[in-house]
Structure 1
């Protein structure tokens, strides 16, 4: 298991007091260093990316706009995403750390990797959204296809917010298999991801959106697992991306789901077991959202533990 960690990743945030602040990384990192998982993982430093990396998914015009605003150091990319000096370079650290993880997995140096500050799933091809400057999930998908000739990819997301930036970018793509369990968009940003949104054109039926009511518990989540498992068995991928946002846990300040850490552990464990049978164990996990710092540490550690358990004969300690 590769785990990406370093100050360059922690810098992706919008200041102390902002829901997405730099202390999110530190909450995870301190807990990870105290856990038995550290000895079962290889820690790798973040990697600086380039504009070319961002253009794998985003339009050249949008990438240029981010660079210009970053040089100015002030302004807003959208109503939720403020600019700070160097935001362009900082966002590209997230991007290229994810791309480096893809490279490591595809070169068989590792079968799994976790990038804690990543999974920025709201940005579209032409704009930022919801604290997300560049959509590293979409960039990873495009890199797998263009650089590694991997086409059939499963993207699974258990963040409380719907991955609209990923869904709509690949809505008509039958080879991007998509599963998203999220809080019902009638109650939470971005307001999308109804159960009827299942892909369009040749991709109809290759997308599975599962909106959850506010207050949904583990029981409701696991009641849907047979449907998720059936979908995965019907659509075996060559590579899996797991976005494991911690904001679906009970106690998050801006969402309303009531999951326990068992959801993250069991999801990761089952994904790890499934990956071992269909795609040589290839799983890239991305931290995603989460605004309760204790929940961030717990959810992400349980994700790592679950993935390691799912691909090993002996269960690691937590």
Structure 2
């Protein structure tokens, strides 16, 4: 039944987005998630879709032409960095990053068109890239591309972007800081202790957009109890904003045991966020919700967290 299904985008082309074996953002991340989906039988409950390579035109909805050219050139040589030392180029990086964008936009179309109720793309949510640069393992900001596409192609102006990755979604926040119709909610580890060092509580938007952004810095070692308590204010903020579409970036690096962060959630936080956002989506926007995997560098953690997100989208309990 099309409108009530959950589409999940997985496949070798999507797994290609990674920076080599042994790197925190390695190409094995998608496989860890999908292995868990198969073990739990959830692979039989969703509609599995093949990755799609995005076009230059789609990427340019958010990124500058000069930056796109830079990625293409370094994709051919596979040398150097695409930023200031965090995001290395590799041969084929353009194709891999374009596949993240294309898969997200295909999933977006599935949701907007009613082909499915919600969709999930595990290797996506690359929220650090700016309009003209890579940053923090993120080459193209598929979140930003999705938001711009919702406006330009589908006429969805009031979009709620919700981010529970341990790292602040700075590439999205600053790109839309002065946009009053982009509702931004981000629960992340306090920037005084973790990259990118942004997302403080007094960053609420600028100009006409002041008050449309909610940054909730979490103390290091914060666990589920703190998350559930702070989530209540996030949910009220989203509910009051009455969005036309919801994008969830559900990075799993906020779970206890991640090698590069300090939060201590369990997958219960991700299950709860997805469940409550689905409820808000049903209340305000016909159920239209797109979930993007984001970070997560402990493979067991990301498998458990993202499977919990899919369970919530399907309306299943743990």
Q: Report the TM-score when normalising by structure 1.
A: 0.97
**Preserved contact between residue 271 and residue 307 of structure 1 (Cα < 8 Å):** no
3-state SS in 2 of match to 1:226: helix
2:130 is the counterpart of 1:124: yes
d(CA) in 1 for partners of 2:13, 2:235: 37
Structure 2 alignment gaps of length 5 or more: 1-5
2:232 is the counterpart of 1:226: yes
3-state SS in 2 of match to 1:246: coil
2:64 is the counterpart of 1:62: no
3-state SS in 1 of match to 2:184: strand
2:117 is the counterpart of 1:142: no
Shift of 1:184: 0.2
2:177 is the counterpart of 1:157: no
d(CA) in 1 for partners of 2:132, 2:181: 22
3-state SS in 2 of match to 1:81: coil
Question: Pick from 204, 212, 219: which aligns with 1:206?
Answer: 212
3-state SS in 2 of match to 1:77: coil
For each residue in 1:151-172, what CA deviation from the matched residue of structure 2 results, as whole angstroms up to 9, or x when unmatched? 1100000000000000000000
2:307 is the counterpart of 1:301: yes
For each residue in 1:276-315, what CA deviation from the matched residue of structure 2 results, as whole angstroms up to 9, or x when unmatched? 1110000000000000000010000001111222xxxxxx
Shift of 1:225: 2.3
d(CA) in 2 for partners of 1:149, 1:303: 27
3-state SS in 2 of match to 1:224: helix
Shift of 1:38: 1.8
For each residue in 1:216-273, what CA deviation from the matched residue of structure 2 results, as whole angstroms up to 9, or x when unmatched? 0111111112211221221010000000000000000000000011100011001111
Structure 1 alignment gaps of length 5 or more: 310-315
d(CA) in 1 for partners of 2:223, 2:78: 42
3-state SS in 1 of match to 2:153: helix
Question: Pick from 281, 284, 288: which aligns with 2:290?
Answer: 284
d(CA) in 2 for partners of 1:90, 1:225: 34
d(CA) in 2 for partners of 1:34, 1:103: 29
d(CA) in 1 for partners of 2:273, 2:151: 25
1:29 — aligned with what? Answer: 34
Aligned positions, number: 312
1:189 — aligned with what? Answer: 195
3-state SS in 1 of match to 2:160: strand
Question: Pick from 261, 264, 286: which aligns with 1:258?
Answer: 264
Runs of 4+ in 1 over 4 A off after TM superposition: none
For each residue in 1:56-110, what CA deviation from the matched residue of structure 2 results, as whole angstroms up to 9, or x when unmatched? 1000110011101111221111210111111001100000000001111111101
d(CA) in 1 for partners of 2:44, 2:18: 28
1:312 — aligned with what? Answer: none
Question: Pick from 237, 243, 251: which aligns with 1:245?
Answer: 251
2:46 — aligned with what? Answer: 41
Q: Report the TM-score when normalising by structure 2.
A: 0.97
Shift of 1:274: 1.1
